[in-house]
Amino acid sequence: MKAAPICAEMQRRADEFDVKIVHTGQHYDAAMSDSFFDDLGLPQPDFQLGIGSASHAVQTAKIMLAFEPVVLAEKPDWVVVVGDVNSTVACALVASKRGIKVAHVEAGLRSFDRSMPEEINRIVTDSISDLLFTTEESGNANLRSEGIALEKIKFVGNVMIDSLVQNLDRAKSSSILADLSLAPGSYAVLTLHRPSNVDTREKLEPLVDALIEISGKLPVIFPAHPRTRARIDEFGLRSRIAESNLRLIEPLAYLDFLLLYSESKFVMTDSGGLQEESTYLGIPCLTIRENTERPVTIEIGTNQLTGSDPTDLKKAAFELLDAPPLLETKAPPLWDGKTAARICDALTNH
């Protein structure tokens, strides 16, 4: 979702850019990778590294080993990395050590929680990048406080919103609401995948019980990440869920998921992207985490941190059920669907 608008903008500027797409294979599930290429109109990758799942150390090392030959053969002027996953830091390290400029899209975000692997990836990637593209003012402030040179920091806005704006009308052709027999505004959407929430029975079981109780008030649609689905089965929670209105479904393609959450009453999540997208759309969001690296979503008023305490999650959800719809909210600065163009301008000017 972050790469597609940038690639499209570079292809429109063929006299300025020759872009090659490298798919590391870190996200390898067909429903969570292949379908996104189709839905977003992203060309097939020029390089498919096929890394797959592994521990953080093994996965990062494998990506570095596979990416270095690509860099040596292609000799790029820039390597552009997005987000905060292991692919981001691995490819940035390879490029930096080879003397190739690195641009980091979505730089400067900080949860200030180093128990999150993504936080380590963000800090390391930012420290070795030559251009740092930020999404919100907190990112600018964080980078300044870490001593990053001001000329490297470029406030460009949120490229996730480019994808949302470009595809919202297209998503209306999705049949997902009819397929699930849902009416707009009559259900909530849940995503849950962070190890801190799903990897132990002590954490996941009480959360599932709370979500089942919430689903007694309105259906909760749960496109389950493969990691979460595996833990649900391992901990024997599947039958309990099946008897409730917590509706466990397969991961969805981008357009189906976009329509699903854009028509929901509220969303519950432990991811980052959904906090941003719901903020832009003015949909209430309950973030099942103790912190967020996207504080602007809290400031705007659409996002609320509940932590992973089931009692707090239920209380917040029940309050939303009784609350009137949010009045129209104002999108954060530069969340306007034109971020990819600003990124390309900055690369060219640099």
> Which two structure tokens, joined as six digits, stand for 301?
């008023």
Side chain identity at 95, as an amino acid letter?
A: A
Contact 333, 319 (CB under 8 A): no
SS3 267: strand
Set 23, 104, 193, 225: catalytic member:
193
CA distance 306 to 312: 6
Radius of gyration for the chain, computed over Cα atoms and rounded to the nearest angstrom: 20
304 beta partners? 286
CA distance 165 to 335: 10
104 is an active site residue:
no
Eight-state DSSP code of residue 119: H
223 beta partners? 249
Side chain identity at 46, as an amino acid letter?
A: D
> Which two structure tokens, joined as six digits, stand for 324?
């009137």
Cα→Cα distances 78→7, 24, 81, 140, Å: 13, 17, 10, 22
CA distance 307 to 26: 27
13 beta partners? none
- The residues annotated with a catalytic role in the active site are 193
